[in-house]
């Protein structure tokens, strides 16, 4: 699940993403980023939301890039290892938001399930799970670029692929997460937000 050519897209998409996220996170204090890559979005978040503790994480196999990217960012917490499928690696509860960009299509489905379960477990009631990336919407024609991208992912690894938004909604509902926002983004991407129900267990 290598992040091939991930750095340049992160630089391009950080501004449109945070145009939407910043108003949602003005009162937040703790945000957990999953699959932070080289830390581009974390550095931008620090500029947009200086009062937030933005905790970056990355899979243990890909920590070198993140550590290198944040080597000079003393105002951000030390990056942490996080394999979403390992319950013991998730940080403490009380997160105002869990954020991930361009990760669900490079994860196998059990890891996507683990991402939703883990996020629901650490979010405060009313906290948000925010996912950015390319998705497939049932009943809506898929853009050629996304269809080609999905095909290339599955050729590399049959477990990868663009995820159906409806399947993500079902997964979210199972964990007490309620759909809140769905924004179309540049290059046929979407920004999806779910909120943890106040009545959710945990």
DSSP string, 169-191: HHHHHHTTEEEEEEEEEGGGEEE
Instruction: List the one residue out of 162, 154, 197, 161 whose CA is nearest residue 176.
Output: 197
Domain boundaries, the chain: 7-196
Euclidean distance between CA atoms 92 and 125, whole angstroms:
14
Rg (C-alpha) for the chain, rounded Å, is: 16
pLDDT in tens, 98-123: 999 999 999 999 999 999 999 999 99
- Domain 7-196: give its CATH code: 3.40.50.150
Euclidean distance between CA atoms 3 and 7, whole angstroms:
8
pLDDT in tens, 59-81: 999 999 999 999 998 899 999 99
Prediction pTM value:
0.93
Q: Packing angle between helix 165-174 and helix 109-122, nearest 10 degrees?
A: 40
Euclidean distance between CA atoms 190 and 193, whole angstroms:
10
Give the confidence band of 6 by pLDDT, cuts at 50, 70, 90.
low
């Amino acid at each position: 699940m290598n992040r091939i050519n991930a750095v340049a897209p992160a630089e391009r998409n950080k501004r449109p993403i945070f145009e939407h996220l910043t108003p949602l996170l003005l009162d937040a204090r703790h945000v957990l980023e999953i699959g932070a890559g080289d830390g581009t979005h974390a550095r931008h978040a620090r500029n947009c939301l200086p009062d937030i503790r933005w905790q970056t994480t990355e899979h243990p196999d890909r920590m070198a890039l993140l550590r290198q990217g944040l080597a000079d960012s003393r105002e951000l917490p030390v990056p942490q290892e996080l394999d979403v499928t390992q319950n013991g690696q998730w940080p403490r509860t009380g997160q105002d938001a869990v954020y991930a960009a361009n990760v669900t299509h490079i994860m196998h489905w059990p890891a996507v399930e683990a991402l939703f379960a883990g996020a629901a477990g650490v979010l405060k009631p009313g906290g948000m799970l925010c996912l950015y990336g390319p998705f497939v919407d049932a009943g809506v024609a898929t853009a050629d670029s996304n269809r080609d991208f999905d095909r290339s992912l599955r050729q590399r690894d049959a477990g990868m692929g663009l995820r159906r938004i409806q399947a993500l909604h079902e997964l979210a509902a199972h964990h007490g997460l309620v759909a809140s926002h769905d924004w179309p983004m540049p290059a046929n991407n979407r920004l999806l937000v779910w909120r943890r129900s106040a009545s959710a267990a945990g």
